[in-house]
C-alpha cells in the first residue's frame, strides 16, 4: 500500500529537500507518494513539518502515524494542542557533525585568543598574548544530549579539561558530570569557557540569568548554540558590562533575526552568528526520516519520539 507523506515547509525549502527525500525513500524501497499539498488531509500517513510551513493545525490530519520535524528544536510545536499522534524530532548525523565543528571552532578561537591577533592593526607585536595549553583550560558543557555530548568529546580529544551538566543525572565514562541546581552552580564556577547546547523547555528558559550569573567564574567566555531563550539577554548584557562574562558568542537569540536595534549588535564583547551553528542537512536528515518510517511500518518503535512532559 502506498504511504502518503506531506512535506509542510516554506517554498524555499522545496528545492533542496524534495529531490533528496524522493531519492532516499526510493533507496529504502518505500512505496510512497511525497506531496507538498494535501487535498484530503485524512489520507496523509506522515507529515514532515517545519514551523514556517503551511500546516500548524493538525486537526484535519486524523490518520497520521507521526509528525516528523525537519529541525532538532521542538519548542515551536510542542505546545500545539491539535497534535494527536507521535511527534518525532529530527536527529540528523549531519547536524551533529556541524554542531561539533562549530562549537569546537569557537572553543579554540577563545582559547587561543584569536580575536586579539585577527583584529590587531596597531603595529604592536603582541608576543605576551601566547595562550596556555588546552590542558590548563576548563570547558563546561551545559547539555549532554546527542549534540552536547558530541561537542564535549571532540573538545576532550584536544586535551581540554571538560565537565558536563544536565538537568537530570547522567553518567558518562571518563567525564565529570553534574546535574541539578547545585551541579549547575559548580560547572559555572569552575569553567573558563561555557558551551550551551540545551533544548528550550520550561526548566531551561532563562537558565542563565542574574542569579546564576553570580556563580560564573569571573572572565568566563559564554558560547550559546542551543536556544536563545536559555539566556536572559538583559542580565547577560549587565554581566558583560561588569566583566563577570568576558565575551559572549551567540548563534541563537530570543528574537530571530536579531532586531537591528538590539544592543548586542554594538557591544564589543558580543559575537553574533545568524543561527548557522548547525542545520539539518537534507542528504543525511532524509536517511533519519526514512529509517523511522521504515521502523514504524514494521511495527517497531520510532526513535527520537518527543516526551511532552520533558519538553523534548
**Which amino acids are annotated catalytic?**
227, 275
Half-sphere exposure of 23 (CA within 13 A, CB side): 9
186 Cβ neighbours under 8 A, 6+ residues apart? 178
With beta carbons less than 8 A apart as the criterion, state whether 9 and 48 touch.
Answer: yes
Q: How far apart are CA 87 and CA 11, in angstroms?
A: 23
With beta carbons less than 8 A apart as the criterion, state whether 258 and 272 touch.
Answer: yes
* Residue closest to 142 by CA, chosen among 231, 236, 71, 77: 231
User: DSSP letters along 130-177, please?
Assistant: PPPPGGG-EEEEE--SHHHHHHHHHHHHTT-EEEEEESS---BTTBEE
Amino acid at each position: 500500500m502506498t504511504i502518503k507523506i506531506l512535506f509542510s515547509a516554506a517554498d524555499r525549502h522545496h528545492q533542496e529537500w524534495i529531490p533528496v527525500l524522493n531519492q532516499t525513500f526510493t533507496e529504502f524501497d518505500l512505496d510512497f507518494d511525497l506531496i507538498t499539498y494535501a487535498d484530503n488531509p485524512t489520507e496523509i500517513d506522515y507529515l514532515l513539518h517545519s514551523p514556517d510551513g503551511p500546516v500548524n493545525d493538525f486537526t484535519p490530519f486524523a490518520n497520521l502515524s507521526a509528525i516528523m520535524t525537519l529541525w532538532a528544536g521542538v519548542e515551536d510545536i510542542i505546545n500545539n494542542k491539535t497534535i494527536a499522534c507521535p511527534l518525532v524530532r529530527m536527529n540528523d548525523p549531519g547536524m551533529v557533525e556541524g554542531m561539533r565543528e562549530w562549537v569546537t571552532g569557537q572553543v579554540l578561537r577563545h582559547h587561543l585568543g584569536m580575536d586579539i591577533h585577527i583584529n590587531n592593526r596597531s603595529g604592536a607585536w603582541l608576543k605576551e598574548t601566547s595562550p596556555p595549553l588546552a590542558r590548563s583550560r576548563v570547558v563546561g558543557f551545559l547539555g549532554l544530549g546527542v549534540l552536547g555530548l558530541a561537542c564535549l568529546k571532540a573538545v576532550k580529544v584536544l586535551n581540554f579539561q571538560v565537565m558536563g551538566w544536565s538537568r537530570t543525572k547522567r553518567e558518562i565514562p571518563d567525564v565529570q558530570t553534574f546535574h541539578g541546581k547545585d551541579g549547575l552552580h559548580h560547572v559555572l564556577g569552575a569553567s573558563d569557557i561555557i558551551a550551551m547546547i540545551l533544548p528550550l523547555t520550561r526548566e531551561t528558559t532563562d537558565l542563565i540569568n542574574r542569579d546564576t550569573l553570580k556563580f560564573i567564574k569571573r572572565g568566563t567566555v559564554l558560547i550559546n548554540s542551543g536556544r536563545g531563550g536559555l539566556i536572559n539577554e538583559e542580565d547577560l548584557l549587565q554581566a558583560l558590562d561588569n566583566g563577570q562574562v568576558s565575551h559572549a558568542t551567540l548563534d541563537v537569540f530570543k528574537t530571530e533575526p536579531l532586531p537591528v536595534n538590539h544592543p548586542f549588535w554594538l557591544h564589543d564583547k558580543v559575537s553574533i552568528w545568524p543561527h548557522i551553528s548547525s542545520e539539518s542537512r537534507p542528504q543525511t536528515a532524509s536517511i533519519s526520516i526514512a529509517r523511522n518510517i521504515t521502523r514504524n511500518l514494521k511495527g517497531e518503535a520510532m526513535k527520537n519520539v518527543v516526551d511532552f512532559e520533558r519538553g523534548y
